[in-house]
Structure 1
Amino acid sequence: MTSRLKTGADLPRPIGLSSVQPDSVDDRAHGVALRWLVIERERHRLEDVWAATEAFMAKSYNWFALSDRERADHPAGQLMEALDRRIAKLGKRNERLLERLLRQPATTPGGIMACLQILAELVHPAENEEAHRLIRQITSALEVRAAAQ
């Protein structure tokens, strides 16, 4: 069980989904993209719970001084292991959804917006700050435009 503290706080958070509602049944990619975003939000939430649990255990119970066996036997260790499995399962599900999206492009404004939001999640600011900021700028402009219509 490796620490998620290194990555939990620096992950980008999903953009709000308020302006991204399904446009049409004709854009299957839109529904797939929305599912991806919901799953990713849940993954982030679970990673935050995992990190908070580890931080509490490290501070209160000297977690890192315990043996692997002691950590695995502790209820907090069992919770963290269950969270880890769930996070991995959600990650695999999103990988499959992303593969589907690559085969069926979005055809509506809402579908395109949802795909851009996925792109903003995938392009981490630490890896390419300019690209990430540009994607966020585009999605914000599209949200404003959609709200004005």
Structure 2
Amino acid sequence: MSDDRINPTAVSRRMLLGAATAAPALSLLPGAEPDPLVARCTDWLAADFERDRLSRRWAALEAWLAEERRWFSLSEAERRRLPEAAEMFEIEERLDRLSEELEQRLESLTHLKATDLHGAASKLVVAARVLLHDAGPSHGLVADAVKVLTTQRRPDCGAPMCSAARTLERACADQIE
């Protein structure tokens, strides 16, 4: 079992790379006008991955400060005086703002209607990401739906039913298994 499986908050390199490739594919589908829903889902995913990156950096700083500067035995005032802690406090403020922003964006996404398969798939990827840390069965339901989208083919030509399907699969790779 990999460390990513042990730590439910870890984001694997595969997931980050998948999300990075998802952004252009979801926003700029061939032969179609960019769908505002797809673009907003892509933006939400990018911000959520930024939140994960910042959280991991914050945790690394805290671990270093605990080991090197006796972080947990310091008062709040002593912690604030440590020059090495400045980045950690900045990250904490950014995470607070980002969490509020993600909540607002998620709320607005719920009011947008998917008009095609790409919009529906984009919403499912966001839902799978939201449910990632929920230990309940709903995450599995959504992740399975994303997996199915990646395998569906058009009967007339055999092309993927959703042209962004492979990218969606990579964006949720660790969530699907």
TM range (shorter): 0.7 to 0.9
1:10 maps to what in 2? 8
Aligned to 2:26: 21
Cα deviation, residue 99, structure 1: 2.0
The Cα of 1:75 is off from its aligned counterpart by: 2.0
Aligned partner letter, 1:42 = E
Q: Secondary structure at the match of 1:21?
A: helix
1:53 deviates by: 0.7
How many residues align structurally? 140
- The aligned runs of 1:1-149 (5 Å cut-off) are 9-11=7-9, 13=11, 16-17=18-19, 18=21, 20-22=25-27, 23=29, 24-25=32-33, 27-128=35-136, 130-145=137-152, 149=160
Aligned to 2:9, the other structure's residue is in SS state coil
Calculate the aligned-residue CA RMSD, in Å: 2.4
TM-score of the aligned structures, taking structure 2 as reference length: 0.68
Unaligned ranges ≥5, structure 2: 1-6, 161-177
Deviation string 1:92-132 (CA, Å, 9 cap, x unpaired) is: 2212211221111222222212211111122244431x221
Percent identity of paired positions between Structure 1 and Structure 2: 26
Unaligned ranges ≥5, structure 1: 1-8
Return closer, same or farther for 1:95/1:25 CA change in 2, 3 Å cut-off: farther
- Of structures 1 and 2, the one with the larger relative CO (CA 8 A, separation 6+) is 1
Give 3-state SS (helix, strand or coil) of 1:94's partner. helix
Q: Contact 1:120/1:135 (CA < 8 Å) preserved in 2?
A: yes
State the TM-score, normalizing by the size of structure 1.
0.80
